[in-house]
Structure 1
C-alpha cells in the first residue's frame, strides 16, 4: 500500500511461515529497543497528529479508546518529567501493542481516493 503509512511487506511475510518465524523475533527486539513501551505507549500513539488523516481517525475512536489514549499520553508525559521510564509492570506488553488507529487511517485514505474518483466524474448531456 502506498500513502502516508508507506509500503508494507507484512502480507508477504505473513504468508510464509518460515519468514514469519525468522522476522518475528527481530521485530519484537526492534519494538522493545524503540523504548516507547517503557513509557506505556502503543505504536499508534506515536503517529504524527498534525496529519489530517490522523486527526480524522482520532475522531473515529470510541470514547473508551480516546480516554485510554489520553491516559497513556499523560502518564508518559509525567514519566518524561521525572526522567525515568515507568515501572516494569506498567510497560505495555507486546500482546497489548495492537494497531488501534491504523485501520481508521486506512479507511480514511480509501474514502479520500474514492472521493477524488467521484469528484472528477464529468456528467455529459446527450
Structure 2
C-alpha cells in the first residue's frame, strides 16, 4: 500500500520544485529564527516522547550537538528578552541551517510505527 505525500509529489515535479524552492527560502528568511541564532530543528518542541527519544539518541551519537543546541536556545532567549537581533555576522546562514535532529526523529517514528504494527497484529486461525 503506497501513499503519495505532498512532499514526494513536489520533489518529483521539477515545475513545482522550481516554483516552491525560492518561496521556501524566502519564508525561512522571513521567519526570523536565523537572526537570533537558531537552526530549524531548534524550533522542534521537546515535549513529545518521540522528540525526547530523538534527543537522547543525538546525545549518544554527538554530545557536542546537544550542548550547541542548548547554547543556541539560550542565546535566542536572551535576544528575545532584550528585543534585539544578533549582529549580522552571527546569524545562522542557510548553509549552516541543516536538519541535525530530523533523521533521529524519522528513525524513532519508524520504529514506533513498526512496534505499533506488531503490537496490533491480528492472527487468523487456520481452518
* Short-chain TM bin: 0.7 to 0.9
Note if 1:27 corresponds to 2:24. yes
SS at match of 1:96: coil
The alignment's TM-score, normalised by the length of structure 1, stands at 0.83
- How far did residue 79 of structure 1 move? 1.3
Equivalent residue for 1:48?
45
Q: Which runs of 5+ in 1 are unaligned?
A: none
Rate the CA distance shift 1:8–1:39 in 2: closer, same or farther, 3 A.
farther
The alignment's TM-score, normalised by the length of structure 2, stands at 0.83
Equivalent residue for 1:9?
6
Give runs of ≥4 in structure 1 deviating > 6 Å. none
Equivalent residue for 1:69?
69
- How far did residue 16 of structure 1 move? 2.5
Rate the CA distance shift 1:22–1:111 in 2: closer, same or farther, 3 A.
same
- How far did residue 19 of structure 1 move? 2.1
Equivalent residue for 1:95?
95
Q: Which moved more, 1:8-17 or 1:91-100?
A: 8-17
